[in-house]
Amino acid sequence: MSVNKSIRVLDKDTINKIAAGEVVERPASIVKELVDNALDAGAANIRIELKDSGKKSISVRDDGVGMSRENLVLSPVKHATSKITSLSDLERISTMGFRGEALAAISSVSRFEIITKRKEDAGGTRLYLEDGKQTISDIGAPDGTTVTVFDLFYNTPARLKFLKGDATELSHIAAIVSDLILADPHISFTLINNGKTILSSPSSDLFNSVVDILGHDAARQLMPIPTYASKSDTKACDEIQKILADTGVQIEGFISKPSFTKTTPDHLFFIVNHRPVTSKELIKAVRLGYYTKIPNNRYPAAVLHLTIDPKEVDVNVHPRKIEVRFRDEKTLIRIITEVIETTLRLNELAFQVTSTDVKKVIDRPFSDFGQKGKIGNADESKKDAGTPSESKKDVDMQSKPKGDSDVIKSKSEKGIDFMQQKTGSAAVLAQEESSAYSDFKTGASSGSKSGYTAPPKDTEKRLKETERLLSASQKSPEKNARPSEISLLDDIRVVGQISNLYILVEKDSGLLIIDQHAAHERIFYDLLKKKENVSVQELISPAVVTLSPKEKVLMDEYIPYLEEAGFGISEFGDYSYAISFVPIVFGKMEDVSTIHEFIADLLSFGKIKDESGARETIAKRTACRAAIKAGACCNHAQIEELIRQLKCTENPYSCPHGRPTILVFSRKELEKMFERI
């Protein structure tokens, strides 16, 4: 690489083209800027027409206020804006634009035309701009403005080369227009490419726009954040308002049930004062609200409108204005998390199985059920124990947005990746559950062959431990769970256990299937999180674990947290540790290999990210180890006890890893499945 020896000031044209790079990244950024201008002009109808996904031309037509001839001439001039006059205006921005840069940038890298007419003018005016040369003329035109951008990057071939294929560019445009529709649902939008309608959303309310963008199936999985305006239950609205009190923030919108998750955050939409924004922090806040209700590597769907005093938001932090900065980000994150937690708690959150889910399974070729074609053979139950539920994946795959738009389909199809991709915590889960399954095969399962005979002592012991902890925790009333609110597990009749894995429960309103291991894991996890004093037991002889150098580094980080959780650990040679105490929840420790496995499991999570993460991981691993096994036989009394304990948890519907504990087949859905109705 050679370096110029003398410094010189670049010419204006080059400066403009370089600056344009920040604003105009691709056709989608042009669509965004032109629609922003139409919105600022007070348009009610916006029509976007593309040729070749915007590479050949982009035309945005609005029915807004239009421009006078003088303003039209000024509009593509750099730093010319009608939206702010001084720096102080920046602190209370209520328009989408404010920099007076967009048209200047766009017109410097394209052939550019604006036709505009104000209501009060008899005729319209046309401005054409190419290579810095402006022509202006009178023209007949409807009220409003049409901006057309031809041959994007014709004069910057290097940038032209960076454009992706037509489908990719179109998908970016569709994503941007989707954001804008959700941000302003009362405005009518149409997006057309080469004469084909890609998206169309008439003026409507937020829910209907969500249906337009996410499709009916996904929309069915959403629940509103209780607000007085949405006529939700007043008590629920009061709870939400209590969280928002004194923050000056209002939150409305929809969030998905925990049973609906995606592999990417593509279904998370944040709109701050009508401006669609992306924010890692806000995504984190939402996921935190779902906490253990969804698996680690999954994202819920949500459309959240945040109304915040403009003084509290800095909109001038990103060249394309898609990111904003909040003055008090910490409070905002806290209230979003709490609003989501509360909305989830106020709704019944068990995984509802619908006839569509089941039909998808039934419609699969018979051979998919295993070569022997036998449902319930060992391989099948292993599959059940090892992977997240089939029905969940199916629910996921239904979430295609409506219509046959190739563009949007390609966005949602990312969800299918999950089926192939077994990395991260999904893999860990699979590992963990298959080890539970191997326990089942080797020992604990012996009861399964003889039906509901004598219960394994192990199950009894594990249930007793949670019972003991539960009664201790219920002595302090403020820590009590809210069993009264959980009606799903009331008025039930236990039918029995299948494959020593699942519990069948009947209710007047339908059938519940409970995963015994996941349910008990939830019970333990809640108790471990609440407990202050950990009871410990001394091992008859200390368990000695020898680690690799890498594991030793991790172990040293974990030791303080393990000690806090009830482990007695001391160094025992260079790479060995002696463990002499374990938390009593492990039950009577006859087999020290359990400790080895536990430590290995824990270290497989890698470096500790933060304190709460370390405690969290230990609580989850301990709950998993201490819970009754998938594959353990349970008698009637034990099942009833398990359900009673599950009712006392904060969230009985999913295990700490976010997988379902209860599947609900409502009577109506059962009737539909059997085609009675």
Name the residue among 8, 62, 4, 3 with its Cα closest to residue 35. Answer: 62
Stretch that binds ligand ATP, among 102-110, 132-140, 459-467, 483-491 (CB under 6 A): 102-110
**For 405-420, b where at least 16 C-beta lie within 10 A, e where not — what string?**
bebbeebbeebeebee
Question: Considering beta carbons, is residue 320 or 334 the nearer one to ligand ATP?
Answer: 320
DSSP-derived 3-state class of residue 548: coil
Among the listed residues 16, 29, 37, 57, the single contact to ligand ATP using CB under 6 A: 37
Cβ atoms of 229 and 216 closer than 8 Å: no
> Minimal distance in Å, beta carbon 312 to ligand ATP?
20
**For 660-675, b where at least 16 C-beta lie within 10 A, e where not — what string?**
bbbbbbbeebbebbee
The listed partner (Mg ion, ligand ATP, none) that binds 497, CB under 5 to 8 Å by sort, is none
452 binds ligand ATP (CB under 6 A): no
Question: Considering beta carbons, is residue 28 or 585 the nearer one to Mg ion?
Answer: 28
Query: How many whole angstroms separate alpha carbon 244 and alpha carbon 334?
Result: 10
| 3-state SS string for 509-523 | CEEEEEEHHHHHHHH
Question: Considering beta carbons, is residue 80 or 544 the nearer one to Mg ion?
Answer: 80
Query: How many whole angstroms separate alpha carbon 671 and alpha carbon 101?
Result: 61
Would you state the structure tokens that stand for residue 279, as one six-digit string?
A: 């924010």
> Minimal distance in Å, beta carbon 39 to Mg ion?
9
Among the listed residues 27, 64, 97, 388, the single contact to Mg ion using CB under 5 A: 97
DSSP-derived 3-state class of residue 230: coil
DSSP-derived 3-state class of residue 395: helix
C-alpha pair distances (Å), 670 with each of 66, 356, 529, 675 = 58, 11, 37, 8
Among the listed residues 24, 28, 35, 37, the single contact to Mg ion using CB under 5 A: 37
> Minimal distance in Å, beta carbon 204 to ligand ATP?
22
Among the listed residues 91, 98, 320, 552, the single contact to ligand ATP using CB under 6 A: 98
Among the listed residues 38, 294, 528, 642, the single contact to ligand ATP using CB under 6 A: 38
What number of other Cβ atoms are within 10 A of residue 280's Cβ?
Answer: 9
Query: How many whole angstroms separate alpha carbon 33 and alpha carbon 25?
Result: 11
Burial of 272 from C-beta contacts in 10 A (0-12 / 13-18 / 19+): buried
Query: How many whole angstroms separate alpha carbon 269 and alpha carbon 287?
Result: 13
Report how many residues bind ligand ATP under the rule CB under 6 A. 25
Subset of 110-169 contacting ligand ATP (CB under 6 A): 145
Burial of 648 from C-beta contacts in 10 A (0-12 / 13-18 / 19+): buried
> Minimal distance in Å, beta carbon 660 to ligand ATP?
46
The listed partner (Mg ion, ligand ATP, none) that binds 38, CB under 5 to 8 Å by sort, is ligand ATP
Among the listed residues 20, 28, 48, 102, the single contact to ligand ATP using CB under 6 A: 102
> Minimal distance in Å, beta carbon 151 to ligand ATP?
19
The listed partner (ligand ATP, Mg ion, none) that binds 98, CB under 5 to 8 Å by sort, is ligand ATP
> Minimal distance in Å, beta carbon 129 to ligand ATP?
12
> Minimal distance in Å, beta carbon 95 to Mg ion?
8
Angle between helices 593-603 and 549-564 (to 10 degrees): 110
Would you state the structure tokens that stand for residue 249, as one six-digit string?
A: 């923030």
Stretch that binds ligand ATP, among 64-72, 526-534, 586-594, 614-622 (CB under 6 A): 64-72
33 binds ligand ATP (CB under 6 A): yes
Interface mask toward ligand ATP for 77-96; x: CB under 6 A: ---xxxx-------------
Among the listed residues 51, 56, 69, 99, the single contact to ligand ATP using CB under 6 A: 99
Query: How many whole angstroms separate alpha carbon 483 and alpha carbon 469?
Result: 16
Burial of 463 from C-beta contacts in 10 A (0-12 / 13-18 / 19+): buried
What number of other Cβ atoms are within 10 A of residue 487's Cβ?
Answer: 12
Stretch that binds ligand ATP, among 62-70, 407-415, 428-436, 659-667 (CB under 6 A): 62-70
Stretch that binds ligand ATP, among 30-38, 166-174, 441-449, 649-657 (CB under 6 A): 30-38
Eight-class DSSP state of 156: -
C-alpha 447, offset from chain centre = 41
Would you state the structure tokens that stand for residue 596, as one six-digit string?
A: 């080895």
Sequence-ordered alpha helix ranges (H) in 57-153 = 69-74, 102-108
Interface mask toward Mg ion for 99-118; x: CB under 5 A: ---x----------------
The listed partner (Mg ion, ligand ATP, none) that binds 83, CB under 5 to 8 Å by sort, is ligand ATP
Question: Considering beta carbons, is residue 37 or 389 the nearer one to Mg ion?
Answer: 37
Query: How many whole angstroms separate alpha carbon 60 and alpha carbon 84?
Result: 23
Query: Which amino acid, 367?
Result: S
Among the listed residues 20, 28, 30, 41, the single contact to ligand ATP using CB under 6 A: 41
Cβ atoms of 83 and 95 closer than 8 Å: yes
> Minimal distance in Å, beta carbon 97 to Mg ion?
3
Provide the residue count of the chain.
Answer: 677
Question: Considering beta carbons, is residue 81 or 448 the nearer one to ligand ATP?
Answer: 81
276 binds ligand ATP (CB under 6 A): no
The listed partner (Mg ion, ligand ATP, none) that binds 41, CB under 5 to 8 Å by sort, is ligand ATP
Question: Minimal CB distance to ligand ATP: which residue?
Answer: 97
Question: Considering beta carbons, is residue 145 or 638 the nearer one to ligand ATP?
Answer: 145
Among the listed residues 53, 75, 645, 651, the single contact to ligand ATP using CB under 6 A: 75
Report how many residues bind Mg ion under the rule CB under 5 A. 3
Cβ atoms of 667 and 510 closer than 8 Å: yes
The listed partner (Mg ion, ligand ATP, none) that binds 455, CB under 5 to 8 Å by sort, is none
> Minimal distance in Å, beta carbon 53 to Mg ion?
22
Sorted by sequence, the CB contacts under 8 Å of residue 609 that are 6+ apart come out as none
Sorted by sequence, the CB contacts under 8 Å of residue 631 that are 6+ apart come out as 385, 436, 437, 439, 440, 441, 444, 445, 448, 500, 501
Question: Considering beta carbons, is residue 67 or 634 the nearer one to ligand ATP?
Answer: 67
Question: Considering beta carbons, is residue 91 or 557 the nearer one to ligand ATP?
Answer: 91
Sequence-ordered alpha helix ranges (H) in 474-574 = 516-530, 549-564
> Minimal distance in Å, beta carbon 269 to Mg ion?
21
473 binds ligand ATP (CB under 6 A): no
The listed partner (Mg ion, ligand ATP, none) that binds 63, CB under 5 to 8 Å by sort, is none
Query: How many whole angstroms separate alpha carbon 512 and alpha carbon 509?
Result: 10
Query: How many whole angstroms separate alpha carbon 482 and alpha carbon 650?
Result: 7
> Minimal distance in Å, beta carbon 37 to ligand ATP?
3
101 binds ligand ATP (CB under 6 A): yes
> Minimal distance in Å, beta carbon 33 to Mg ion?
5
67 binds ligand ATP (CB under 6 A): yes
Contact footprint for Mg ion (CB under 5 A): 37, 97, 102
Contact footprint for ligand ATP (CB under 6 A): 33, 36-38, 41, 62, 64-67, 71, 75, 80-83, 97-104, 145
